[in-house]
Structure 1
């Protein structure tokens, strides 16, 4: 049995650590004990992180629902002003993601993540009270700053608890919260517009922000009592479970950092020397250009023939359901054959590229609606599997370096959202050739970038194997 000792983790808490054992030796715990531990990890992490991400996507995307429900007319916003309100969120996200991830790597996730969620719930509720355009911009900026820690933070937490072969379906399950967030957002927006428009003298779009913000705050309070911290620490695991959690990650060659805490300078230098920290952010920048379509689904669907804003809200739901199915299937396939995960990513973005090109040449309502659904499905196959692949690519890095790289990737992704917000202006309706053409181009580039990453990874793996045999 590996020798155990008490130590201080990289986030300062007292944890149980284990000397590293060679990965080719048999573990001193049973497969059933490990399966039981993984189920417990799933129970504590997946439902709450899934729910918080659902609320995150609802809170950020409800601006699109509010757009066709009277927000732009009430605040007298032009199309460009509305686009600026969208990208202000991403300016905050871009600036906050790297430092937020550095903080997460040094603090307890069970405290830090719920605090962020509670604060952005307050910000979301505050939108119900705005009277001017500058107030909307300030709140969108704050929302971006606070939400910047969630998605890359979840990727980091997953990389600390799960082996690469376990990441695909869990990343897909987590990302379904984004698809269902869009679907639920449309359902809730439609329900609010039907039942609360004018209630107590408030417009329906104001009620939308208030209701979703209050629910977000409540979920954050519950999350503080549920979430796990890091393997080897926290109060929700027995000593034996901590030992297995630490040992299995070390056997999976996932770097934990042990007792050593890196300075900021060394963290940045290590990240800068890794070619992945330069190439992968570019891919995520391009990828998020395709995902910005989500903000304009209500407008695009309305432009396809629905004159009723409420009907347009509900007609976005099937699009998100297709994305849900595609992401879930790809997640299970990716974990069944982890080595083929890059091909799932390339296939997803390849499908998106073909569908986007087709949308630019097909103008019938039914045909365009179906193509839009398959576009979304392809995008979310690529995006959900990229989340799992990201954790694999940086698994051998020190946790603080890994966290910083995840933050940089998340920040770069927001650049795609910033210029993507101008791709679907109202004057381009109903064809939106600029937007769909740009989506086709950026998703096509994603295919080539991930083909390069796959080739580079295989080349490095072959070099390592040659070194071992020598």
Structure 2
């Protein structure tokens, strides 16, 4: 039943949100969405799943015999991760700019083939230094997936559709993290010493092989962007509709058309990006938020168990127990991505939740370290804290969706560079952050890292507040411009009319 003021009830909103194909404004829009959902998300999610499977399998291999076989010492595992991160950082902006010169249908699969080959080569190494060189180039190849996909998603989906798709995409990477432990455990028990190869070497071979069919699939079906797609499964009318759905206001459309005629590789463009509040606001947001994921991305639970002060764990336990962290991350990511879509794009609420989580989980681990919990329950408290910390993964989908929402009125190349800059800034900091605060030699307690996490979480809450103010102010400004172009003032529009504008593309 609708409220007395004429606004739809929560029940009606839920029905519209989850069963929205009958609420489309354009005939056939629901069918178009189903098509692009299937082909875009299958390619991107499979790619990201394999991307993360490759990244996390290094840690799985480390605790499954690679450390002893190759003679790792000190923080060499962190140094390898830093080599990967340096390559990953260097590839961010160039890879997203490349999407404006090379079709995504060609570029994404080509990079997958490159990293698949490098993954298989890793099986032949004999020293940690060999892996450092391989992972550097692997970082460059894998840098194309995350920010490139967020650029593609922002090109195809409206503001009310974007969060869920970003969440599904991000969850696929976490699935790679989670399943990687089970895969390594299974390979270790079934293939260790087969044909003279250790189980951890077989892991890299198998990981590389299964990437190749996905690359071929992407080359066959990926739809590029709405303005240039020529895929066989979309009709001409659906291609036109794809462009129409994400069209911005007429004045901004004209401005964007003029700006797109210019090459992005110019000092004018660089000054425009670096002089914008979106660049500094969202890059710094992800620099801070990216480090709130440190407990999970640095596999601290696995290192805690590997270096446990009293208990000894089997290889299978070392691989299986940490899989609960990405499992929690998957649930959290999908929940918050869907929730913030339903609430009209209020992505900022995730910033406050993550800040609270970072503080609480750090305090729990410090309490266990200093004997402030019941004797004998220290391990349970630490494991609970690391599992809870997995919810922080929710910020990946929601914060990149937030950036896409805020820059929807900007030209595509501007948006792609800022999205790439977000990941560039985060990984540039993480290249040294993980060594300073979460080095493998600091296991099992990572005391310095606990205090760093508390400080980072407080900073995230403050930055979220400031950025939410800026995005609201911009939204009001764009609304005034749009209303002026429509020939009416914001004050002259009824609330129901403005609500309808904001939810016309609900999904």
**If the length of structure 2 is used for normalisation, what is the TM-score?**
0.82
Instruction: Tell me the CA shift for residue 251 of structure 1.
Output: 4.7
Residue in 2 aligned with 1:284?
Answer: 286
Match of 1:315 in 2: 321
Q: 2:238 aligns with which of 218, 232, 241?
A: 241
8 Å Cα contact 2:340-2:347 kept in structure 1: yes
- Identify if the C-alpha distance between structure 1 residues 428 and 348 changes in structure 2 by more than 3 Å, giving closer, same or farther: same
Look up the match of 1:22: none
Q: Is the 8 A contact 2:78 2:440 kept in 1?
A: no
Q: 1:201 aligns with which of 191, 196, 204?
A: 196
1:216 counterpart residue number: 211
2:402 paired residue number: 389
Map Cα deviations across residues 163-214 of structure 1 (whole Å, 9 max, x no partner).
1111111111111112211110111111111111111111111111111011
Q: Distance in 2 between matches of 1:386 and 1:295?
A: 21
- Asked if 1:404 is matched to 2:400, the reply is no
Could you report, residue by residue, the CA deviation over 1:116-138 in whole angstroms, capped at 9, with x for unpaired residues? 11110101111001122332111
Change (3 A) 1:140 1:292: farther
The answer for the alignment partner of 2:5 in structure 1 is none
1:415 paired residue number? 428
Kindly report which structure 2 residues correspond to 1:455-466, keeping only aligned pairs within 5 A, or say none.
455-464=469-478
Cα shift at 1:78? 1.3
1:390 and 1:416, CA in 2 relative to 1: closer, same or farther beyond 3 A?
Answer: same
| Alignment pair present for 1:448 and 2:480 | no
Larger Rg: 2
Shift of 1:459: 2.6
Q: CA deviation at 1:79?
A: 2.3
Q: Where does residue 374 of structure 1 map in the other structure?
A: 388
CA contact (8 A) 1:63 1:295 kept: no
Equivalent residue of 1:362, what SS? helix
How far apart are 1:464 and its partner, in Å?
5.0
Which of 46, 53, 58 is the aligned partner of 1:51?
46
Which whole-Å CA distance do the structure 1 matches of 2:262 and 2:409 have between them? 15
- TM-score by structure 1 length? 0.89
2: distance between equivalents of 1:307 and 1:191? Answer: 16
1:227 offset after TM fit, Å? 1.1
Are positions 1:300 and 2:304 aligned together?
yes
2:271 to 229, 251, 269: 269
* 1:31-110 equivalence runs, <5 A: 31-110=26-105
Partner in structure 2 of residue 342 of structure 1? 348
Aligned-residue offset at 1:282:
1.7
Q: CA deviation at 1:349?
A: 3.2
Deviation of 1:95 after TM superposition, in Å, equals 0.9
Contact 2:63–2:306 (8 Å) recurs in 1: no
What is the match of residue 10 of structure 1?
none
Would the alpha carbon gap of residues 68 and 124 (structure 1) be closer, same or farther in structure 2, given more than 3 Å must change?
same
> Is residue 2:445 matched to residue 1:431?
yes
Instruction: Please tell me whether the aligned partners of residues 284 and 413 of structure 1 are also in contact (alpha carbons under 8 angstroms).
Output: yes
User: Deviations 1:206-231 (Å, cap 9, x if unpaired)?
Assistant: 11111101111221122111211111
Distance 1:409 1:427 in 2: 29
Cα RMSD, aligned residues only: 2.1
Q: Deviations over 1:365-422 (max 9, x none)?
A: 1111111111111x11222211211211222211111111122112111123212331
Structure 1 residue 273 displacement after superposition: 2.4
Matches of 2:29 and 2:348, distance apart in 1: 27
Q: Give the Å deviation of 1:30.
A: 4.8
Offset, 1:252: 7.6
Query: What's the CA shift string for 1:71-127, capped at 9, x where partnerless?
Result: 222222212222111110010011111111100122211110111111101011110
Within 1, Cα distance between the matches of 2:147 and 2:43? 16
After superposing the two structures, state which structure 1 stretch, 213-222 or 159-168, moved more.
Answer: 213-222
Residues of 1 paired with 2:368 and 2:450: CA distance?
Answer: 12
State the shift of 1:31 in Å. 4.2
- C-alpha distance in 2 between matches for 1:144 and 1:273: 29
Looking at structure 2, the residues matched to 180 and 93 of structure 1 have their Cα atoms a distance apart, in angstroms, of 21
CA distance in 1, matches of 2:25, 2:349: 33
Counterparts in 2 of 1:88 and 1:75: CA distance versus 1, 3 Å: same
